[in-house]
Amino acid sequence: MRPRKSLSTAARTAAVLVAASLVLVGCGRSDDGGGGGDKAEDSKAIAEGPAEGSIEVWAMGTEGEKLGEFAKAFNEDNPDAEVKVTAVPWDGAHDKIANAIAAGETPDVSLIGTTWMGEFAESGGLDPTPEGIVEEGDFFPGAWGSTVVGDTAYGVPWYVETRVLYYRTDLAEKAGWSEPPKTWDELTKFAADLQAKGGAEYGISLQPGQAGSWQSALPFAWSNGATITNDDGTEYTLDSPEMVEGLEYYKTFFADGLSQDRLLDPGELENGFAKGTYGSFISGPWFTGLVEDAGLKPEQYAVAPIPGKDEAPGTSFVGGGNLAVFADSDNRDSAWKFVQWMSQPDVQQDWYTTLGDLPAVQEAWETGKLADDERLQVFGAQLDSANAPPAVPTWEQVASVIDSEVEKAVKDASPVDDAVANMQSQASSIGTGL
């Protein structure tokens, strides 16, 4: 992952954790390690009173670099506790956590990628979230859902990101659009008009396959009512008319020449957007800084929620990071108290000011810059209609299958219904791991 900066400054990386290593399916615990016990017993309430002792925390990327200094404020109410943060590179984070769980030698707390939750929880490595430590309803629904494996939460959402539609307002005005599109039909016409009348070479830029393309394609299927698994996460449910229709619609942008049909090089999208090569695209909040660094003036572009199939709001992807306490924590109660502190609305706002990570707690959006910034409010509104991938141990493997089949469908190497059937067949063979 690239270093991240504030939304108002230079390049931020995707908060979503798609660059993870391959899942270590069936990662087990050591015989003398914790976890794997009775969930009701493991999720016992934490003791009252201030936190005490050393709290060892792992965090990745820029979060890991900034959290140590930020966490010193925790000591104001917990003078007998010390938070020790180790910054872990994203490239090796998955395997480092998996190996620590297997050896029973974990820290107390770690940032866990949303797509890793199922694997690490099912291996017995994570402590179930104690009842009452936070309120589920305080968080964006999609973010909270990323912590739930089976019917048990293992952790608390820390920060979030979601994807919205970026578009060139000057090109849209030239093409006769004073408002952004709100439906699939409008999005198609919008992209066509940006291209034919607005002067863009491509009306929209979408990902035509390869790693991470599921994040671009699945929101259209989700907006159409498609599901990835059944309610309890025990079976994949990819092969559905809703999935086929969503992917068929996604494919039309490539078939009609409204989107480029190749993967763009790093930096090409923001530079092309600034030059008017691409009239619109779908991505996350970090692109605000990127497009302005590329020379685009703030008044030349805007963001809007993902268009829905009809009048209902479109569903986007929600990513980000969760804080989880390990089953082998040497200081469990204090570890959860630190997680609880990080979930307070004012602390979430301070963390946003420090790094630019969008708060997972909804109340943190109600005051300050988050409430006053019109672009940020679009992201906040989109988070009300956003889905996380299922928190199942095998998701990384199945996501790779979806990426491959999306590319085949987009490039006419496979009919869409065959591509979806292949997704289902391979996913069923892999299983959810629950």
Which pLDDT score, from 0 to 100, does residue 297 have? 94
CA angle 126, 91, 316 (to 5 degrees): 70
Which pLDDT score, from 0 to 100, does residue 27 have? 34
β strands within 12-108, DSSP E: 53-60, 81-88
Which pLDDT score, from 0 to 100, does residue 211 have? 87
CA torsion angle 92 113 131 66 (round to 10): 70
CA distances from 326 to 34, 101, 143, 253, 422 (A): 9, 8, 20, 44, 36
341 phi and psi angles, rounded to 5 deg: -60, -40
Q: Are strands 316-325 and 109-113 parallel, antiparallel or unpaired?
A: antiparallel
The model's pTM: 0.84
Which pLDDT score, from 0 to 100, does residue 434 have? 85
Beta bridge partners of 358: 160
For the chain, domains (ranges, CATH) are: 39-162+318-387 (3.40.190.10), 164-316+392-430 (3.40.190.10)
The first and second tokens of residue 29, run together, are 């615990």
CA distances from 199 to 183, 273, 347 (A): 22, 12, 45
H helices within 311-373, ranges in order? 332-342, 345-355, 369-372
Distance CA(89)–CA(279), nearest Å, equals 35
CA distances from 127 to 41, 48, 53, 364, 421 (A): 10, 18, 19, 26, 36
Distance CA(34)–CA(325), nearest Å, equals 12
Sole residue written with tokens 């506790």? 81
Among 376, 431, 386, 392, which residue's Cα sits nearest to residue 218? 386
CA distances from 211 to 16, 76, 144 (A): 13, 44, 25
SS3 at position 47: coil
Distance CA(57)–CA(79), nearest Å, equals 17
CA distances from 76 to 19, 69, 70, 341 (A): 36, 13, 12, 11
Divide the 434 residues of the chain into consecutive groups of 10 and give the mean pLDDT of each group.
Answer: 35 34 33 39 78 97 95 96 96 95 97 92 95 95 93 95 96 97 97 97 95 93 95 93 97 97 94 97 93 95 96 91 97 98 97 93 92 92 92 92 96 95 97 90
Instruction: Tell me the DSSP string of 219-234.
Output: HHHHHTT--SB-TTSS
How far is CA 377 from its chain centroid?
17
Sole residue written with tokens 């996350």? 284
Which pLDDT score, from 0 to 100, does residue 21 have? 34
Which pLDDT score, from 0 to 100, does residue 4 have? 37
Which pLDDT score, from 0 to 100, does residue 247 have? 97
Q: Are strands 358-359 and 156-162 parallel, antiparallel or unpaired?
A: antiparallel
